[in-house]
Structure 1
């Protein structure tokens, strides 16, 4: 019989960046269903996420910061951990810019890389350092992408950043696995979020995408949330540097 406690987050306190909507919200609510308290970190209102999390009978803390401001984001995370240790960190916050490679601007490149890769690394560094110095076990889940494996179209900075997320996941796992910090990643497929709204509103692109997905549907944030709970829970104790595609079978085609 499966020991369900291996999938429980009861008594745990998990931080999730970009928890206001989409995948971040789905992860926050899934953590709450598993019994974990949630600290939402981001620049937008998280009132809806707070209501959904608290409806599960656990606490939600909303912490406002612009993730693209790396120093401010790291300072906030350190303040959060000083109040009470974090049992896990989910690096979910991400943005996307779309344009042909020959027209892509330096501004769009920098904005995406600052949020998706630079801040992700330095938040990870701050979290890992706190866990290692305190001798505490830690869990970190990075949100990668199908474009950690593929090139995509018209999203050069996003593709580069998500390749980087996968590389950093593996590097940090190599350095921290023996020190009690699990670092893994999830590679979402095509999920119904703000980032994919342009694709879903393009009938030709949406049709082409759906035709390739064996599951025959777009994913929803809960699909990612449940995978994140697994990587945050004791059930994944021996997983380090892994990336779990949650893509409806896209990469299997």
Structure 2
């Protein structure tokens, strides 16, 4: 099982203090990585650090705002400073607004693009420059969406950002494969997190979602840990530009 051992690896997880990012950070720490988690809420960051350390892992918290134009660049620099170097960047931070595109404000559109697409680009750019300066391989893992494959009403800005993210991952993988830098994407299905509370408060919408999932259950944050470890570990050293769907069979049907 050494293929999945992350001992000695340093990982930055954005959105690592809550939801899906938090659970992946916990899993990566349990696999042996020193994890730096980034988020905007200091209390949530501190609570996650305590949980990871209580489980025997190593974790560092970095307060960061990815909506700020300089936030992603500063975050990479701060993570390198805190950990000594970076081997892996996992971008799990997210933001959502549910309304028809005809009703969406430009500020709402811009915020969603900023955190899902602009931040992904800037984080990857900073990480790649770090990997290349050190002459070392590296891993970049994005969290994508079903919305980059199918159209779902009322999440148009999010779908546009995640579709752009899919293209970004492909080009980054093509440009950096020769240097041993792997860029891959996890595609979650429907998970009940803070981002989907409003969705599942609507019984009709909840029932429609459940009717589309062949496994007949929502995903749990723990369901993403295996994919996160795989894309971060030596097991995926010859895998780049790939996606793993963790969706209970949604896109297959």
What residue number does 1:182 align with? 182
Say yes or no: does 1:149 pair with 2:149: yes
What residue number does 2:77 align with? 78
What residue number does 1:16 align with? 13
Q: How many residues align?
A: 250
Instruction: Quote the Cα distance in structure 1 between the aligned partners of 2:54 and 2:188.
Output: 26
Q: CA deviation at 1:176?
A: 0.5
Q: CA deviation at 1:76?
A: 2.8
Say yes or no: does 1:219 pair with 2:203: no
Instruction: Quote the Cα distance in structure 2 between the aligned partners of 1:74 and 1:104.
Output: 28
| Structural RMSD (CA) | 1.1
Q: CA deviation at 1:52?
A: 2.2
What residue number does 1:54 align with? 53
Listed as ranges, the matches of 1:1-253 within 5 Å are: 4-44=1-41, 45-83=44-82, 84-253=84-253
Q: CA deviation at 1:54?
A: 1.1
Displacement over 6 Å in runs of 4+: none
Instruction: Quote the Cα distance in structure 2 between the aligned partners of 1:182 and 1:132.
Output: 13
Q: CA deviation at 1:210?
A: 0.7
* Aligned partners of 1:148 and 1:187 also within 8 Å: no
Question: Relative to structure 2, which stretch is displaced further, 133-142 or 52-61?
Answer: 52-61
* Distance change >3 Å, CA 50–CA 79, structure 1 → 2: closer
* Superposition TM-score, scaled by structure 1 size: 0.96
SS at match of 1:250: coil
Q: CA deviation at 1:79?
A: 2.9
* Aligned partners of 1:69 and 1:119 also within 8 Å: no
Question: Relative to structure 2, which stretch is displaced further, 38-47 or 76-85?
Answer: 76-85
SS at match of 1:46: helix
Instruction: Quote the Cα distance in structure 2 between the aligned partners of 1:248 and 1:76.
Output: 33
